[in-house]
Amino acid sequence: METTELTVHRLNPLVDPGLHVWGWEIPVYLFLGGLVAGLMILSGYLLLTGRHRRPAGAFHRLPGLAIALLSLGMLALFLDLEHKLYVWRLYTTFQIASPMSWGAWILLLVYPALAASFLISRQSRRMERPGLVRRVGLLNLGLGLLLGIYTGVLLSALGARPLWNSALLGPLFLVSGLSSAAALVHLMARDREERDLFAKADNLFLGTELALVVLFVLGLLSATEAHVQAVRLLLGGPYTAVFWVFVVGLGIVVPLIVQPPAVRHRIRHTPVAPLLVLAGGLALRFVIVQAGQMSHWR
Amino acid sequence: MARYGMVIDTARCVGCMDCVVACKTENGVPDGHCRDWITEEARGAWPTVRLELRSERCNHCDRPPCVTCCPTGASHVEEELGRIVLVAHDQCIGCKACLASCPYDARFIHPEGYADKCTFCAHRVAKGLEPACVAVCPARCMHFGDLDDPLGEVSRLLESRRNHALLPAAGTGPRIFFLT
Amino acid sequence: MTTLSRRRFLQISTGAAGLAAAGCFQGPQVPEWLGPAPAAADEIRTTPTYCDVCFWKCGALATTRNGRLWKIEGNPRDPLSRGRLCPRGTGGVGAHFDRTRLTAPLIRRQSRGAEEWAEVTWGEALDHIARGMQAIRQQYGPEAMALFSHGIGGNFLKHTFKAFGTPNLAAPSYAQCRGPRDVGFTLTFGDEVGTPERTDIRNARCLVLIGSHLGENMHNSQVQDFAEAVGNGASIIVVDPRFSVAAGKAHWYLPIKPGTDLALLLAWMHVLVEEGLYDKEYVAAHGFGFEAFAAELAPWTPEWAWPATGIEPETIRATAREMARHRPATLVHPGRHATWYGDDTQRSRAVALLNALLGSWGRKGGFYAPASVDVPAYPYPPYPTPARGKVDNPGHRYPFADGALTTGIRAATLTGEPYPVKGWMVYATNLLQALPAPEETIRAIRNLDLLVVVDVIPSEIAGWADVVLPESVYLERWDDLNTEGFREPFVSLRQPVVEPPGGQKPNWWIARELALRLGLGAWYPWKTVEEYLDHRLQAAGYSLAELREKGVITGPPQPLYFEEGVPAEFPTPSGKIEFWSPQLARAGFDPVPRFKAPEEPPAGAFRLLFGRSPVHTFSRTQTNPVLASVQDENEVWVNAAVARRQGWEQGAYVRLRNQDGVVSNRVKVRATERIRPDCVYMVHGFGHTAKGLPPAFRKGASDNLLVSRYAVDPLMGGTGMNVNFVTLEAEA
């Protein structure tokens, strides 16, 4: 086999010898964004089904929590910027082809939706009109879906990094966000019925997530050589262990083993499964963002 | 409207890095960064080796992903100036999506915080001059011009010599071609 | 007078350099030469001058923006640069902004080597030097003063020293570089290859490069011509133990065993003669001693050359025939740095003979006759005749040396024979990186009463001086006129573009001030250098004003080749091309070159080869911030299979240890398919040890440190430096 010696006389920071433009800030933001998206979808569901009124229900704490988590995420996002004083430029234009521009505006719209949801959760009488509740529910549901998917599309639109180059990344991040949100609500739930409900929902999301992970890997394996090389980072390459052990094993499979019996009341609910789900969700973002930067077209 | 590109004769290129130094002084490129660079590609085993030397930079692509992904429009195509791809410094927020979107890793973050890269010396081209790297090359191996002009130098060179662009499979439509 | 203790000097220089490091090398910052962003109201001024980053002296146009140096481009009027500078010339702005620059004259206060300096005024420094020189003259005679210089900036200092009465003026470019080549050619054609080389590369239909790595070795005009030749489809033959950039363009690449080029040359000539492929008309018309020469070649068949060189006989024959196919436009390039193995004059003579067989001397595509503008020298009084002859070549030990031997002066300084040399002035050459066996240089320095170094940065040699004089860089000063012979005659001017940033002074001022203090005012009738330049130019029918505006004025084109009317004259004793050399025979040397195999490397060791980077000049540019940002260290090229076997990873740091136990600084490994397994290669000029050069300090390794052994050419005293063997060891 012919050897090739490639000597590139370039050593630009963040770019050489391998791309490393995004550190912890972006994975943290993507995780929190996905989590908030999931919380919004779950809130929307609760609003639309009227379950938001349950006295010990989790809904009362969700919007406030979501606002806090989202703000943390946006702080992380802001910290990542290299030209921070110009951040306002995001809001003087809308670049329809840029997922990040979509995200900037979605995030802006998410706050009022969460605020409305928050007011409802404070049981303000003015907010108790069914039509309004329904609209707020749909708004949260819709924006949550957009927020959840966009975090994945943000990466998948960057074709230069073959690992991200999968249409499944958006749905994967959305479902992961939903599963993280369900796990979080499960942790917070004081109402036994609600706990079961969200654990069951989480199982559904985890199962879907597992399927999407498998399809994601298969999709890359059947694409171009650059894509095959990229997914090899997870199949024998440096990210193999952390991906299959932490993201898939501990983050999806173990909860899927432990949670269904808990739902069927064979064993007690413990925080173990939801905590693993949350950790797994964060790990998923870290692995995809870091490994993705390592993948390239050369 | 014009569509500027470059044609670089790797047979004549000696990899001396004059293009790198000229760009540095012309554009005040910060230390530790470069807008263009030399790549040496040697194939084969000793002593049967083939060597290609390339002066590389931003390819000012026809379908630039760095422009598509930019959330503020700072990264844009200068339609009036041969479709050169530029970054408006005061619109850039430094999100680095464009760095991640470039299959050639041609961009970098300037110490002042904005995304930076080769500009085809737009300030010179606007005055009818060639980019600094083209003007300095002692091997006279670099050619700059309108790819849409069939009678222009770059088009004629592409028609008369074997040539290739970099990473065509990435699909961005690079406008820098290397004659072999 | 402020006493600058060593600690404070180091503090200042390290602090300044630390700032530079912080500003330019560790954290990225906007470079200071950028200044404010360009605006419409910017004042842009362009001043023509000629470059000094190497000795080629390309005509340049330096541009300032609001008074600050911005960029340098080639002067389109200049025949050397044809409007395009090499990367070093383009990066010349860095010479002005280099933060390690000397700013004030320094005198050492303690014993040599203690590095305790006092910053003094120019008056004090020059008085000190004059006193020292006069003391030496009184006690030992003026011949005991020697001047080492490099570049055109040495002209005025040479003038002062000649007026002082010493014949001992030398440049390393002779015995450490082109000397053997020019003597080899003079023995054959009666004339040297010269500077700039009279090689008609651009018109060559076949170009043969033996070790010459054009493209990495960045002689601007030659590289431009090389690219032209490649673009014109010339047939390129490269002979090199390393697959150089030039090898990458070659149709034939001969991976020759180091030290055996002479065997290949003899075999080539054998083929040309045996197969009757040489230029018979040319040889008959211009040759002397051809029959005896041909007879000498008889045993040197390609089959004979094969085991020595590793080049197959069919390849030797095929390349010889290819050369013959394109003659006389076949140029076997003589290179420039020819001091390799100690038999270098004979090897260069073989190159000359091969060219003679091909009929390329005086022909298009071969060697042209350079022409120059005749600008009369300034009418000075005659120099005093020294009482004693040059000290560098006692008894004409090297009978064919036609230039001064730096290493000969060093030897005399060491031994005191034939007479003591007690004072050195060193201008613009870092002797500790230029002369082989640097520990000999240091031992010689210890015998001196006076060592003066004139430099722009605190180089290694400056570190040993008694007095250090800071010169302004070329962008800040006037200099002598450049009237070197080239393809077309020209005269070019160096004039200031910007002010020096500190108290630095130009060489002409230093030379003049020193001369006045030595009572040599008769040789400096002009007060300013403009007077000097104006006088000379007017005598030639030019005006300084016109030259200031244009930078370069070319004379009427002159014939280049015999065909165009250049007389076919060969100033040898026979008046012809000496294929067989009676003067060599009389002196006891081989009248036709003979090959002797070089020493084999000890087991496990590699021959150390070195060469050039296009981005650096010798050891003088590593602190130029522009150039250092492109390349700030060298690497040791090791064959990939060898590296794998020995366990050296790409990019690992190793040390080199030579046969005498000298160990280098740490240097990065470049494991590559592009070099023979039996040698290693580095770019010259790195591995600085001068503490005043923090950005370059201990970056990369110094090849010269490892050249503790050198082979002296018996014909002219050149120092062959490719005779050291190294092993690689862990960095530890």
DSSP structural state of residue B71: S
Q: Are C427 and C452 in contact (CB under 8 A)?
A: no
**Which has the higher per-residue pLDDT, C559 or A261?**
C559
**DSSP-assigned beta bridge partners for residue C145:** C423
Q: How far away is chain B from the Cα of A258, in angstroms, using its nearest Cα?
A: 39
Q: Are A243 and A233 in contact (CB under 8 A)?
A: no
Instruction: Check if C313 contacts B (Cβ < 8 Å).
Output: no
Question: How does residue A124 score in pLDDT terms, banded at 50, 70 and 90?
Answer: low
Cα Rg for chain A, rounded, in angstroms? 20
Search chain A and give the residue with CA nearest B43.
A4
**Which has the higher per-residue pLDDT, C32 or C154?**
C154
Quote the pLDDT of residue A190.
85
Chain A neighbors (3+ CB pairs < 8 Å): B, C
> CB distance B45–C72 less than 8 Å?
no
Nearest to C361 by CA among C344, C343, C346, C349: C349
Quote the pLDDT of residue A55.
76
Average pLDDT score over residue span C202-225:
97
> CB distance C85–B47 less than 8 Å?
no
Instruction: Enumerate residues 6+ apart whose C-beta is below 8 A from C527.
Output: none
What whole-number percentage of chain C has pLDDT above 70?
A: 94
Of B37, B69, B170, the CB nearest to A297: B170
DSSP for C50-86, written as a single string: E--SSTT--EEEEEEETTEEEEEEE-TT-TTTTT---
Quote the pLDDT of residue C38.
57
Three-state DSSP state, C336: coil
Q: Which residue is associated with the tokens 């003063």?
A: C145
pLDDT, averaged across chain B: 97
Is the ipTM higher than 0.90? The answer is yes
> CB distance A14–B109 less than 8 Å?
yes
Average pLDDT score over residue span A57-68:
90
Of A5, A9, A13, the CB nearest to C28: A13
- Report the interhelical angle of A272-294 vs A192-221 (nearest 10°): 20
**Is C18's pLDDT higher than 70?**
no
CA angle C676, C677, C680 (to 5 degrees): 75
Of C86, C231, C677, the CB nearest to B138: C86
**Is C33's pLDDT higher than 90?**
no
Burial of A88 (0-12, 13-18, 19+ CB in 10 A): exposed
> CB distance B136–C73 less than 8 Å?
yes
Q: Are A220 and A166 in contact (CB under 8 A)?
A: yes
**Is A267's pLDDT higher than 90?**
no
Three-state DSSP state, C672: strand
Q: Are C219 and C201 in contact (CB under 8 A)?
A: no
> CB distance B17–C74 less than 8 Å?
no
Specify the pTM: 0.93
**Is C630's pLDDT higher than 70?**
yes
User: Hey, which residues 18-57 in chain C have their CB within 8 Å of chain A?
Assistant: 28
Contacts of C672 in chain A (CB under 8 A): 5
pLDDT in tens, C72-95: 999 999 999 999 999 999 999 999
Burial of C522 (0-12, 13-18, 19+ CB in 10 A): exposed
Average pLDDT score over residue span C476-488:
97
pLDDT in tens, B91-145: 999 999 999 999 999 999 999 999 999 999 999 999 999 999 999 999 999 999 9
**Is C1's pLDDT higher than 80?**
no
> CB distance C90–B21 less than 8 Å?
yes
CA angle B159, B162, B167 (to 5 degrees): 105
Of A3, A9, A13, the CB nearest to C673: A3
> CB distance A5–C28 less than 8 Å?
no
Average pLDDT score over residue span A104-115:
94
Q: Are C211 and C220 in contact (CB under 8 A)?
A: no
Nearest to B178 by CA among B36, B8, B5: B8
Q: Are B116 and A14 in contact (CB under 8 A)?
A: no
pLDDT, averaged across chain C: 94
Q: Which of A118-132, C129-143, C219-233 has the lowest mean pLDDT?
A: A118-132
> CB distance C673–A13 less than 8 Å?
no
Question: How does residue A295 score in pLDDT terms, banded at 50, 70 and 90?
Answer: very high
**Which has the higher per-residue pLDDT, A57 or C47?**
C47
Task: Say how far apart CA C488 and CA C552 lie, in whole Å.
Answer: 12
**Is C14's pLDDT higher than 60?**
no
Question: How does residue C412 score in pLDDT terms, banded at 50, 70 and 90?
Answer: very high
Chain B neighbors (3+ CB pairs < 8 Å): A, C
What whole-number percentage of chain C has pLDDT above 90?
A: 93
> CB distance A5–C672 less than 8 Å?
yes
